[in-house]
Amino acid sequence: MAEQKWFWLKWPPHKQQRFFKVAKWAWLLILVGSFGPQYFLTVSTQKQIERQKALYASVVPIAKELRSIRLRQAEQQQAAPRQVVADMAEKAGIGWERISFDQKGFEFTHSGVRVTLNEVTLLELTTFLKGLRDNSGLYFLDFTLERNPFNSMLADVTMTLVR
């Protein structure tokens, strides 16, 4: 077997020691230079993943709520307009004695309903209208708002709603 002859073996001992000290530090710098950025990139990527998970966790309840709202809207849109208006009036706190539906046939080709609300407050009316806007899928063809002749704080509303 041939004897290996390394180049530093011909050097004096103090130069060999200096060479190995420099080689040790150079090797350390090479390792840090190659694995350091990888480590920091990994850490920053992990932090970014954690931020994305937190963002996703905050968005998931909103998305679930939107799905449930869309399902309710789909159910409401398949229901008869008269039933939808009655449900919205009930949710707004408008009693059966203050709501009336026109008994005449609906003259338009769309499915719809003509509704009169008597003696409603502004709060009840806005709650009712928001419910119709958000959940019913009905649109206004006609809307008339008049002050109640017996109580100026209340209003009488006549509206025609179609799908």
pLDDT, averaged per 10 consecutive residues of the chain (163 residues), comes to 76 91 94 86 91 93 89 75 84 86 63 87 90 81 89 89 82
What's the confidence (pLDDT) of residue 27? 94
What's the confidence (pLDDT) of residue 14? 92
Map out the domains of the chain as residue ranges.
15-75, 80-162
What's the confidence (pLDDT) of residue 106? 58
Measured distance CA(37)–CA(140) in Å, rounded: 63
What's the confidence (pLDDT) of residue 81? 80
Q: DSSP of 35-93, one letter per residue? A: HHHHHHHHHHHHHHHHHHHHHHHHHHHHHHHHHHHHHHHHHHHHS-HHHHHHHHHHHHT
Yes or no: say if 88 and 135 are a contact pair by the CB < 8 Å rule. Answer: yes
What's the confidence (pLDDT) of residue 139? 82
Q: Which residues pair with 159 in a beta bridge?
A: 115, 143
What's the confidence (pLDDT) of residue 3? 73
- Pick 80-162's CATH classification: 3.30.70.60, 3.40.50.720, 3.40.50.2300, 3.30.390.10: 3.30.70.60
What's the confidence (pLDDT) of residue 109? 59
